Every structure is written in structure tokens, then in C-alpha cells.
Amino acid sequence: MTVRTRIEPAPSGSIHVGNARTALFSWAFARHHGGKFILRVADTDAKRVNEENYQAVLEDFRWLGLDWDEGPEVGGARGPYRQSERFDIYREYAGKLLERGSAYHCYLTDDEIDVERKSADSAKRPPNFRSTEADEKRYADEGRPFTVRVIVPRDRTITFHDEVLGDISTDMGRTPDFVIMRSDGTPTYMLAVTVDDALMEITHIIRGNDLMASTPRQLLIREALGFTEAPVFAHLPMIVTEDGKPLSKRWGDVSVRSYRESGFLADALVNYLALLGWSLDDKTNIISRDELVKNFSLERVGKNPAAFDVDKLEWVNGHYIRTSDPKDLIEAMVDVCVRHGIPAADGDEGRRILAEIAPLLTERMKRLTETPSMVRFLFEDVTPDEKAAATIEGQGDYLAVVAGTLEGVEPWTGPAIEAALRALAEAREMKPKKAFQPIRAAVTGTLVSPPLFESLEILGKERTLERIRRAA
């Protein structure tokens, strides 16, 4: 049997990190077993979907490096892979359920459904959404809108084995008949996901346990349609905040795009997500994609919620910043600099400058978004910020002497610059901080910058002297 897993994002914007982790686990499981990973887009809700959001979803997966074997832009024998292009298929299978007596037309209005629900709750019975045959005929003749509902057997207990949670049993006695086709002719999630999983021969469904309640209903639909061999289910623990609350927009950054724009590398986010709810051992904090694929198994997935720790993510990101391929790191730095208003970084000269300064930054960086403020002085003239201006104030005579000292430095290298400035500080009996901070403030416009002497070397002698003299 060829393992076939899938991810089914709704394109309403950048994907949630919870969905990204689900995709990662599904991808890793398929790769571990030499199987196929399918990307299927749940875009049946026209109100939430537009082309920009659709492309954003694909870009998120490309950026994460989760390549798919079947799906949009790749194709495959079981497409199309956008649910909005499969409506005829869903209508066909809804029709089969109606023909087999496993579903019916529900003509009740929203108000009538509400009344019936309240009555059923009072009587402690399942609600009845079916009309009499006479009423059904009359409603049909009137052209009254209807939904399609699946009949839930009241005497059934649905049992399935979950690879994470074990055996799960659900008594269907109180479960109401549920809608699979809306009155506008569009399918609900329940029908679309069930039919697609069957027709695309998905063998393993790996998803968040917030969707576990839908599994018994999906199994009922599969059974009614004659899809006898059910897939293996694995419901992942939820990702929560450190306070144990669901990871929602109210908490802060929850999307892949937000972490990308906040200065995290794709490898770092993938590494971190891999260890949320899954572990190789008690010691491993850094794991490559190849190691993840080699070792991934559902048996190692935990049952308890996984807490999202931004501090740990930053630690992981720092590791990847320091160990990244230099060319890849420079391109990531170019991207973040351009997004933060330094267009000059995107060019041969800009990349040369970043390549020189990068080794001075990476040892202390946690996010790439720290780059622009640290390198802006190399690309454009700077105005000292408030703290830098206060440091420069009253230092005119000293800065004039500094400029004169640096005028004679040859060659213009970090060690030569350092030797000259330290000798000046000793001669004037100044402590290093008091001696060097006014220079830093004058040249970089801030008191927080890369190491001073190397920064002056990269900036160049002419521009360094110009800024010091202007400050003086």
C-alpha cells in the first residue's frame, strides 16, 4: 500500500501555524514511508476566498519547503485539487445518498429549525428535521429551498482507532441529522472532505483533534456510499499559549506569514513546529528536515496540548541564523531590509555590504528583523536618534580630534582603526565606553550597532570621517 496523506487548508489568508504543523507531520509521514503528500484546497466558501488568499496559501507551503506530490500547480490523476472545481462530484454523491435512502431533502426554514431544536432539547430527544411526504411535495411544488441532510442511525455506536488517542467510541443516539448540501447547492465540509478523501485514496488522515468530533459523521457517510476501507486517523494535540489557551489571533502572531515577516527563517519554524507535540528524544532541540523524515512516526506524537514558546522559537531561529548557508542568509537579509525601507540592499553592492557585516551580526541575532536597524547606516546617511544625539552633545572638540586621528590610519582595516582609537583613549585617559560611544553615535546614528571598528572599516574611510566631522 502506498501511503497517501493530505493537507486541506482554507484559503482565507496565510495559514495558521497549527495547520502548518499538521501539514508538516503529514508531509514527514508520507516522506518517511515513501508515499505521496497531497495539497487540496478547501475553497468552497466563496465569501472567504479570493485569488490573493489562494496564492498566499501556496506561497506559505513553498516558503516552508513542504513540497506536494499532487495538487495545484502540480496536477495529478485524482484532481482537480480545488474543491470549488469539484461541485459536480459532490452533487453526484449527494444524489447517491438520496437514492439509497441515507439522506433526505430538508425544507425547514431557519426559524422552524430553531423551534424544533428547542423542542428536542426540552424533550431530551434528537431533533427531527424531516417533513411529512405531503409537506415535502407541497414545498417542492412551491419551489421552497432545501438542504440535504444525512440520516443518523439512532442505535449506532461508531468506533475507530486513533493512532494518537487510541480507540474512540461515539454513541450517535443524540447526534442530529446533519447537512451535507446547503440550500445554495454548495457542499458542506463534511461531504466534501469525505468524498475527496475516498476518491483520492487518502490512507492516513493526520489533523488537529479539534476536528475529531467530525470523524464519526465522516465514517457514516463513507459507509453509506460504499467506501468500505476507512483511512487511518491520527488527531494531533492542540497548540496552545503558555497559559494553556487556544492559539488564536487575540494572542498575537499565529500565521506563517506573520512569523516570516517577523524575521524567522523557514528552517527554524519547521524545526520548532516539528517538536510541538512530537519528539525524537528528551534532548533533541535541533532537527533537520532529513532527520525528521528519517525518524518520524505517529507513535512519538504526544496526547497533551503543546505550548507555543516564542522564546524557544527565537533560540532555534538564532541557531539557524548562525548556521545558514551564507548565500541563503544574505538573500533573507536583503528581503527583510527591502521590506523595512532599505532598497539599496537589493543589488550587487548591497549584497556585498551585507556579506561583510553579517558575521558581525549573527552571533547576537534572534530575528532577521534586527538587521535593518543595525545596517541602515551602511546604506544611507543617518540622523542620530535621541540617545545618540545626547551622547554627541558637548563632544565636538573630542570628535574633531578623533577625525584627525583616523585621517592618518592606513590601511583602513578594523585592527588598524582599533589600535588608533585605543591609543587615543589611553592618551586622553578615557574609558573605552566614554571614548567610543560618541564615535558610534556619530557614525551609525544609534548606540546599538555592530562592533564599532569593523563597522567603520565596512563603511569606508571617506564616509566615516565625513560623519564624525559633521557631528564635531
Can you give 69-137 as a three-state secondary structure string? Answer: CEECCCECCCCCCEHHHCHHHHHHHHHHHHHCCCEEEECCCHHHHHHHHHHHHHHCCCCCCCCCHHHHH
Q: Is the peptide bond before 411 cis (omega within 30 degrees of 0)?
A: yes
244-281 residues labelled b (16+ CB within 10 A) or e (exposed): eeebeeeeebbbbeebbbbbbbbbbbbbbbbbbbbbbe
198-216 residues labelled b (16+ CB within 10 A) or e (exposed): bebebbbbbbbbebbeebb
CB 317 within 8 A of CB 273: no
- Between CA 207 and CA 22 the distance in angstroms is 6
Whole-Å CA distances, 6 to 186, 245, 314, 316: 22, 27, 29, 27
CB 387 within 8 A of CB 447: yes
- Between CA 273 and CA 387 the distance in angstroms is 39
How many other C-beta atoms lie within 10 A of the C-beta of residue 387? 13
- Between CA 67 and CA 61 the distance in angstroms is 7
How many other C-beta atoms lie within 10 A of the C-beta of residue 63? 16
Q: Which residue has the cell 560623519?
A: 467
For the annotated catalytic residues, the residue numbers are 249
